[in-house]
A = this chain, B = another copy of it.
Amino acid sequence: MTDGFESTDSNRSGAVLEALRVVRLAEGLTTASGETLRDVQVAYETYGELNAARDNAVLLCHAMSGDSHVARHHPEDSPGWWERLVGPGRAIDTDHFFVICSNVLGGCRGTTGPASTDPATQRPYGSSFPTITVEDMVDVQQRLLTQLGITHLRAVVGGSLGGHQALCWATRYPSWVTTAVVIAASARLSSQALAFDVVGRNAILSDPHFAGGQYYGAEAQPDTGLAIARMVAHITYLSSASMDEKFELDRHRPRELATAFEKRFSVGSYLAYQGERFVERFDANSYVTISLALDQFDLGATEAERRAALSRATCDWLVISFSSDWLFPPAQSRQLVESMTALGQPVTYCEVPTDGGHDGFLLPDEIDHYAPLVAAKLGRRSAHAPAIKPEHHRIVELIAEGASVLDLGCGDGALLAHLRERGHSDLCGVDVDSAKLTAAAQYGVEVLDYDLNLGLPQFGDQRFDYVVIASTLQAVPDVQKMLLDALRVGRFAILSMGNFAYRPLREMFYREGRVPKSPDGVFPYEWYDTPNRRFPSIRDVLDLCEQLDIAVVDARYYALAEEGRSVSAEEDANLAADTAVLLLQRRGHADAPPS
């Protein structure tokens, strides 16, 4: 998107079609609306080889105006729209996986759509093409795969409308799907997103050349309406920041362009260009058909409805959003994630920081950001866990073999990786640092890209055996809420903390009247330049636990600065220890302390 006249969208003209295969479904399709489509044909492309066990198939689902050409088939081939994600050695590694992408039902790239011939009339369907849904699209894919001898998918992966298809697959054919990757999608469209689609369709439907959808073979096509629909949609694919970057300084210098549309501003000539190019490769009836399918996709307006819909799924999930996406904003992805976590489903979530808007899922830097998560979900993992800190060893000692663990503020996942090596399987980390989380995911644990300042993600009561809060409490604004939430979600909480009343600190403060710091210890920061915002002593925390009716089941005190020695029971821990590791439990809970 450097000169403003390339589209980031998944288009291509003059595509090399040699790899496009077409099959006819053995049976007709009954749509969700109850109509029957006879003679459905499906156009698709494949990459890699199906293995003998037939368990290495990965289905990719394309977006609104995308197609089956995900990647090159050979060096001279035209590039695909997910070239950077899919191919030999890529995150979706075609040396290992058999990758399939079919053009959607209702579209205009070879799979049956409104421009196809209606066997009943031997004329194009036009407006008599049924109103279809994302479910119908997925049903067609399922029939295709069945005819190809595939009955199971290692993964379904898609962005935007492709993400909605992945959601649909996981809930409609749960036994088929091991992993679903849902990128830049949502449980349903926001009312704002819906409104833009409505306007786009109104532009098409009111174009006089649309002729009620029966324009095939006519002298003029509804190009104007389709171009306007595309212009509206195109704005929603970009962020305001990225548009400013593209057009702000040369706003009054539009490109020369042969068009009937306004070309007064540079952004105007860009939109005209995008509109004009789009009508060359897209069919207005398909646009109406597919956008209506997207608009009707609906896993529910409420948390309860979303949970009911997602409860059918048995896969594990990867959900990815883009920080500046306002069409399917991160908050909508988090809604999905919270329903999944509440259901106890394994899910990894990442919000890619970008100015790229919704189109982020197609942009190179953004793909590079999320590709390692896709690769990890597909089984590519770091062989060895990194070394862990002394503090972490003390935490691990308190965790029973094989227990499930949630690590709040997990950073690069060193503690979780260590537990993974020790044989734990149900592990989850939460952190706000997206880059570190990507590293953590390489150890085969679930990670959630969440700002703990806003509270914990939604988990069921007692979902984990242990919730670890390691050197995190001092940085959160609501300490009480974090402790209580941790002990709702976990049977036990393990809190590790630096002790602000450790003797050398206390004496330094008393003698010098300066905020103490210990360069090699647990308070290494200057008072004016620390990420910490709370400076409790062990006693402060024990007092607060008492107040919150939290029992300290086990307490271990260390002077890590003193060659890591354990503080003995005879000593005053609040004076002698620089670090405390506390095993906590809500009072009145019946669980026996773990061995």
Interface residues in chain A, defined as those with a beta carbon under 8 Å from any beta carbon in chain B: 188, 190-192, 194-196, 198-199, 201-203, 205-206, 208, 224, 227-228, 231-232, 235, 238, 240, 243-244, 246-249, 251, 260-262, 264-265, 267-268, 271-272, 292, 295, 301, 326, 329, 479-480, 500-501, 506-507, 509-510, 512-515, 527-529, 533-540, 543-544, 574-575
Instruction: Establish whether residues B501 and A514, one from each chain, have CB atoms under 8 Å apart when the complex forms.
Output: yes
Of A190, A262, A501, A537, most B-chain CB atoms within 10 Å:
A262
Given A203-B228, A248-B301, are A543 and B514 neighbors across the interface (CB < 8 Å)? Answer: yes
Q: Bound state CA distance, A238 and B195, in angstroms?
A: 11
Q: Bound state CA distance, A461 and B102, in angstroms?
A: 63
Q: Bound state CA distance, A231 and B240, in angstroms?
A: 20
Instruction: Establish whether residues B265 and A198, one from each chain, have CB atoms under 8 Å apart when the complex forms.
Output: yes
Instruction: Establish whether residues B514 and A537, one from each chain, have CB atoms under 8 Å apart when the complex forms.
Output: yes
**Chain B residues near A265 (CB-CB < 8 A):** 194, 198, 295
Set B194, B247, B262, B506: member contacting A510, Cβ < 8 A? B506
Smallest CB-CB A-B distances: 3 pairs: A501-B513, A533-B533, A479-B528
**Chain B residues near A206 (CB-CB < 8 A):** 224, 228, 260-261
Set B227, B500, B528, B533: member contacting A544, Cβ < 8 A? B528
**Chain B residues near A292 (CB-CB < 8 A):** 264
Q: Bound state CA distance, A130 and B529, in angstroms?
A: 59
Q: A240-B329, A500-B515 are in contact. List 9 more A-B contacts (CB 8 A).
A: A192-B238, A195-B231, A202-B272, A264-B292, A509-B509, A513-B538, A514-B537, A527-B540, A528-B534
Instruction: Establish whether residues A529 and B243, one from each chain, have CB atoms under 8 Å apart when the complex forms.
Output: no
Determine how close the nearest CB of chain B comes to the CB of A574; give it in whole angstroms: 4
Determine how close the nearest CB of chain B comes to the CB of A369; give it in whole angstroms: 24
Q: Bound state CA distance, A512 and B509, in angstroms?
A: 13
**Chain B residues near A191 (CB-CB < 8 A):** 240, 243-244, 246-248, 251, 267
Given A295-B265, A536-B528, are A235 and B515 neighbors across the interface (CB < 8 Å)? Answer: no
**Chain B residues near A190 (CB-CB < 8 A):** 240, 243-244
Of A190, A198, A208, A500, most B-chain CB atoms within 10 Å:
A198
Determine how close the nearest CB of chain B comes to the CB of A50; give it in whole angstroms: 41
Determine how close the nearest CB of chain B comes to the CB of A518; give it in whole angstroms: 16
Determine how close the nearest CB of chain B comes to the CB of A247; give it in whole angstroms: 4
Q: Bound state CA distance, A260 and B528, in angstroms?
A: 64
**Chain B residues near A227 (CB-CB < 8 A):** 202
**Chain B residues near A260 (CB-CB < 8 A):** 206
**Chain B residues near A544 (CB-CB < 8 A):** 528
Instruction: Establish whether residues B198 and A267, one from each chain, have CB atoms under 8 Å apart when the complex forms.
Output: yes
Q: Bound state CA distance, A581 and B534, in angstroms?
A: 25
Instruction: Establish whether residues A514 and B540, one from each chain, have CB atoms under 8 Å apart when the complex forms.
Output: yes
Task: Enumerate 5 A-B pairs (CB-CB under 8 Å) in ascending A order.
Answer: A199-B231, A202-B227, A264-B295, A506-B509, A515-B535
Instruction: Establish whether residues B262 and A201, one from each chain, have CB atoms under 8 Å apart when the complex forms.
Output: yes
Q: Bound state CA distance, A238 and B193, in angstroms?
A: 12
Determine how close the nearest CB of chain B comes to the CB of A281; give it in whole angstroms: 20
Determine how close the nearest CB of chain B comes to the CB of A504; give it in whole angstroms: 13
Instruction: Establish whether residues B506 and A513, one from each chain, have CB atoms under 8 Å apart when the complex forms.
Output: yes
Determine how close the nearest CB of chain B comes to the CB of A313; give it in whole angstroms: 23
Q: Bound state CA distance, A506 and B501, in angstroms?
A: 12
**Chain B residues near A535 (CB-CB < 8 A):** 515, 527, 535
In the complex formed, the residue of B with least CB distance to A480 is B528
In the complex formed, the residue of B with least CB distance to A247 is B191
**Chain B residues near A192 (CB-CB < 8 A):** 235, 238, 240, 243-244
**Chain B residues near A326 (CB-CB < 8 A):** 240
Q: Bound state CA distance, A340 and B268, in angstroms?
A: 31
**Chain B residues near A261 (CB-CB < 8 A):** 202, 205-206
Instruction: Establish whether residues A232 and B194, one from each chain, have CB atoms under 8 Å apart when the complex forms.
Output: no
Determine how close the nearest CB of chain B comes to the CB of A349; give it in whole angstroms: 21
Determine how close the nearest CB of chain B comes to the CB of A103; give it in whole angstroms: 25
Instruction: Establish whether residues A271 and B480, one from each chain, have CB atoms under 8 Å apart when the complex forms.
Output: no
Instruction: Establish whether residues B527 and A514, one from each chain, have CB atoms under 8 Å apart when the complex forms.
Output: no
Instruction: Establish whether residues B510 and A510, one from each chain, have CB atoms under 8 Å apart when the complex forms.
Output: yes
Instruction: Establish whether residues B202 and A228, one from each chain, have CB atoms under 8 Å apart when the complex forms.
Output: yes
**Chain B residues near A329 (CB-CB < 8 A):** 240
Instruction: Establish whether residues B536 and A515, one from each chain, have CB atoms under 8 Å apart when the complex forms.
Output: yes
Given A199-B271, A228-B199, A262-B201, are A539 and B510 neighbors across the interface (CB < 8 Å)? Answer: no
Q: Bound state CA distance, A49 and B198, in angstroms?
A: 48
In the complex formed, the residue of B with least CB distance to A189 is B251
In the complex formed, the residue of B with least CB distance to A263 is B198
Q: Bound state CA distance, A479 and B510, in angstroms?
A: 24
Q: Bound state CA distance, A583 and B235, in angstroms?
A: 52
Determine how close the nearest CB of chain B comes to the CB of A511; give it in whole angstroms: 9
Q: Bound state CA distance, A206 and B204, in angstroms?
A: 12
Instruction: Establish whether residues A513 and B537, one from each chain, have CB atoms under 8 Å apart when the complex forms.
Output: yes
Determine how close the nearest CB of chain B comes to the CB of A184; give it in whole angstroms: 16
In the complex formed, the residue of B with least CB distance to A202 is B261
